[in-house]
Amino acid sequence: DAGITQSPRHKVTETGTPVTLRCHQTENHRYMYWYRQDPGHGLRLIHYSYGVKDTDKGEVSDGYSVSRSKTEDFLLTLESATSSQTSVYFCAISASNNSNSNQPQHFGDGTRLSIL
């Protein structure tokens, strides 16, 4: 299994509180991604990173921010959580690089986040 650890695995919090999810990898891969998965919408990309301090928006980035200060860690922050952000969040990593950008993504075990 790809060395990806997501924390926490489960979290329940209240509307308006800040939430940070962590993705840690031991593969030294350049690319890291955050997705959310919701019934009826499937998996959707929130943000991704192509290197330390290099990040870009995905399809559903509103209300989320990310940071990557080290190769191994990619943080997803909900500055002020809303009930619509209740979801399962998956982190993924890829060995893609400039010369080979089509490497498959491998997923972590996910974080189940409930916002009441």
Partner 1 sequence: QKEVEQNSGPLSVPEGAIASLNCTYSDRGSQSFFWYRQYSGKSPELIMFIYSNGDKEDGRFTAQLNKASQYVSLLIRDSQPSDSATYLCAVSKAAGNKLTFGGGTRVLVKP
Contacting positions for partner 1 (CB under 8 A)? 31, 33, 40-45, 48, 50, 56, 58-59, 90, 94, 96, 101-110
Provide the β-strand partners of residue 75. 22, 67
Could you tell me the smallest distance in angstroms from the CB atom of residue 15 to partner 1?
25
CB-based contacts of 64: which residues, under 8 Å, 6+ apart? 34, 46, 47, 76, 77, 78, 85
Query: Environment class of residue 62 by beta-carbon count within 10 Å: exposed (0-12), middle (13-18) or buried (19+)?
Result: exposed
For the record, the structure tokens of 18 come out as: 């800040």
